[in-house]
Amino acid sequence: MRLQGKIAITMLLPLAGLLAVVVRQDLANTRERAIEEGSTRLQDAVQNAATLFDGQFRRVAQVADTAAIAVEDYRDWNPDELLRFAHGIVARDPVVLAFGTAWTPGLIDGAPGTFMPFAERVDSGIVESDFGERPADRDRMLSMLDRLRTDRDPYWSLAFRVGGGDADDPAGSDKTDDADGADVVRYVSPIRVDGRLLGATAVDIGASAFKEIAHRIGLSGRQWLLMDRDGRGIVAQVDAARRLTGRDSIRDVRLEELFRSADGDDVDEVLAALRDGKPAVTIVEPAGATLAEADLGRRVAALTRIASTGWILVMGEPVEVLTDPAEAVVRTRAWRAGMVVLTALGVVLLGAWRAVLRPTRRIVDAVERAAAGDVEARANLSGNDELAVLGRAIDEAIPRMEELAATRMSLESARQVQQAMLPAEDVATDRVRISGRVRPSEETGGDYFDHGIFDDDSVVFGLGDATGHGLPSALFATTARAYVRAMLRREQSLDPAIGEANDLLVDDARGGLFMVLFVAAWSPEDAILHVGSAGHPGWLLRHDDDAYRILDAPGVPLGIASGGTFGTTQIEQVAGGDVVLVASDGAWEVRNPAGEQLGTEALLRFAATLRDLPPEAQVDRLFEFITDFAGERPLDDDCTIVIARFD
C-alpha cells in the first residue's frame, strides 16, 4: 500500500470510528422509540382483532344453539329432513366446515338405535352421512355427550379429522393427523328435553375458514395465531404465523415453547395478565433449536383473550418491520456526515501530497532505480526537513550498494564451494552405513564432515569444527579438510596423519584460528575401530548398552602448535547394532527462547532412542529435535552430526 493510502487510512479510521459510535447511539435510540411506538400500535390492533374474532365465533355459536332449539323434539324430524337441515347450514355459510346432530332416543323413551345425521364440506361438494351407522364415528360423537353430562353448558373444543370422522379433543391432547392435516374448531350445543340431555349439535370451523375470517376482519398478511386458554396448544394459524412460531406443524405446542421474552418477562406473568383480562405486549426471541434454524430474529408480540372462547390471540411483527423505516432516516443522516468527512479528508490529503508524499515518491523512485542497477540514481532533495535528510543519506548509500552486492555474491560462491566439498553420498556397505549433515548458522560455516572407503576396504569418517563461524572459519575448515584427507591417505595410522595435518595448519593459521577434530577408522577384517581426536570427542552406543559412552583420545586442537603428538583409542570387535555418533558443539549448545541450553546429556538420551533407524533417518530426527528445542530462536553456532551404524 502506498504512503498516500496509509495516511488516508490513518486519518479515516479514527474519524470513521467516531462517526460509527455516534451513528450507533442514534440507531439505538431510534430503534427503541420505533419499538415502543410499534408495540402500542400492535396492542391496539390485537384488541380490535380479538373483538372481531369474538363476533365471528358468537355468530357460529348462534348457529349451533339455534339448531339445537330447532331439533329439540326429535319426533318432528325424520332422518332425511335432518340430513337436509345439516346440508343447508353448511351450504349457507362458507365458514362452516361441517354440521351434525348427535342424539340417542333411548335416553328418553328407550327407543333403540342412535341416529347421527352429519354434513361436511369436501373438495367435491357437501357429503351427507349417518355417523350412527359407523361404530368409530358414533363413539366419537357420543364422547361429546359424555362431556355435556358433566358440563351442562355449550363449549368450544379442538377436533382433528380422522378417516371421514373426527376426534374430539377439548383438552388439546392426544391429537391425530389425517392425510391432509385439516384441523377444525368445534362448537357443541346441548339438546335438552324437559331438562334432560337428549343430544347435541356441533358446528365445525375448518382451518381454511380462519383465513376467510381473518380476511373479513382485515388480518390478511399479518402474523397471528390462536392458542387455547392455557397457551398449551394452537387453535388456528395462517401461513404468515410460521414466521411468528417457526413451526410448520401446529400440534402440541406451548406458549413458552414458542417464545422466550427478550425483556425478561416470564410467560407465566404474561398468562396471569391475560387471565385478568389485560392485553400484554413483549419482545420475544426464538426459543429452541427449531426456531434458531428458522433464523427468525427478535419479534414484538401482542397477546389478548377472546371473550367468547377464552382463547389467546397472538399477533406479531418482526422488530425490523417496526425499526427499518426509522433506521433508514438515521442512515441518510450518517451518509451525509460521511460525505462531509470524506471532503475534509480530501483537502488534508492534498496538503500532505505537497509536503510529504511528493518528496517520499522521489526517494522511492531513486531506491527502485538503484535496486534495478542504476548506481547513478539520486533523490536530489533540498531543504533541511527529515525527508530531505533521508534523501541525502540514500544518495550517499547508493554508490556502496554495488560493493555490498559483490560481497554477497562472494559469500554465496563460498557457500556453494563449501557444500560441494562435503560427501555427495552416504557410505552404504553390507557391514557399515554412514550418514552426515552440516547446518551452518550463516551463509558459510566452520564445520565440515567427511567419510569414505579406502583401497584396503577400511572405512574412515570424521568431523572438524573450526573456531567461530562465517567466511574466515569456512576457509580455514576447507583447508584443514584437505590436509587431513591427504594425510589419512598417505599414513598407515591415525596419529601421524593427524600430526602432519596439524603441522601444515600451523603455518596457515592466522588470527587465533584453530580446529577440533574427531577421526575414526574401521577395518572389516578385524572389526576394530581406531579413534583419533584433536580436542573433540565422539560417542559409542554398543548393541547391548542402553546409553552412549564417550570416545576420546589425547590431543590438542589443530593449528595451535606444531610438533605435537596425537594418540589414538582402539575399540575391539565393533559388532552389528553398534552406533557411533559425532556432533559439533553447536548441536548441544543450542538454546531455546528462554535461554536454556540443550546439553549433551539430553542430546545423547534422545539419540539412544533412534538406534534401530538407518543412519540417515537418525540424522534427520536429531536435527528435528534440535530445531524443535530452539523454537524460533536461530542457531548460535554451526551444527554438524555424523552417524555410523554397524550391521
Cα–Cα distance list, 262 to 265, 486, 632 (Å): 7, 89, 50
How high is the mean pLDDT of the chain?
77
Residue 152 near residue 142, CB atoms below 8 Å = no
Strand-pair category, 529-534 with 155-162: unpaired
Q: Residue 316 is placed in which grid cell?
A: 406479531
**pLDDT, tens digit, 9 for 90 and up, residues 149-197:** 777 788 887 765 443 444 444 433 333 333 233 467 888 888 877 777 7
Residue 518 has pLDDT above 80, yes or no: yes
Average pLDDT for 273-298: 60
CA pair distance 150, 545, nearest whole angstrom: 97
**pLDDT, tens digit, 9 for 90 and up, residues 186-227:** 888 888 777 777 788 888 887 677 777 777 777 777 777 787
For the chain, first and last CA: distance in Å?
A: 61
Helices 494-508 and 471-490, axial angle in degrees (round to 10): 140
Average pLDDT for 389-400: 71
**CA neighbor of 177 nearest in space, from 161, 189, 192:** 161
What percentage of residues in the chain have a pLDDT greater than 70? 74
Residue 495 near residue 568, CB atoms below 8 Å = yes
**pLDDT, tens digit, 9 for 90 and up, residues 44-92:** 888 888 888 888 888 888 888 888 888 776 656 777 888 888 899 888 8
Residue 291 has pLDDT above 80, yes or no: no
243, burial (CB in 10 Å: exposed 0-12, middle 13-18, buried 19+): middle
Residue 521 has pLDDT above 60, yes or no: yes
**pLDDT, tens digit, 9 for 90 and up, residues 604-624:** 999 999 999 999 999 999 999
Average pLDDT for 268-281: 72
Q: How confident is the model at residue 340 (pLDDT cuts 50, 70, 90)?
A: confident
Average pLDDT for 518-522: 92
Task: Report the pLDDT value the prediction gives residue 582, as an integer from 0 to 100.
Answer: 95
Residue 538 has pLDDT above 90, yes or no: yes
For the sheet with 639-646, list strands across it.
Answer: 427-428, 432-439, 639-646, 579-583, 538-541, 549-551
| Domains (range + CATH), the chain | 1-172+180-361 (3.30.450.20), 373-415 (no CATH), 422-646 (3.60.40.10)
Cα–Cα distance list, 638 to 448, 543, 607 (Å): 9, 30, 19
Residue 432 near residue 522, CB atoms below 8 Å = yes
18, burial (CB in 10 Å: exposed 0-12, middle 13-18, buried 19+): exposed
Residue 168 near residue 140, CB atoms below 8 Å = yes
Task: Report the pLDDT value the prediction gives residue 404, as an integer from 0 to 100.
Answer: 61
pTM assigned to the model: 0.46
**pLDDT, tens digit, 9 for 90 and up, residues 6-42:** 666 776 677 777 777 777 777 777 777 877 887 888 8
Residue 298 has pLDDT above 80, yes or no: no
Which has the higher per-residue pLDDT, 389 or 266? 389
Q: How confident is the model at residue 529 (pLDDT cuts 50, 70, 90)?
A: very high
CA pair distance 126, 120, nearest whole angstrom: 6
**pLDDT, tens digit, 9 for 90 and up, residues 317-333:** 777 777 777 667 767 77
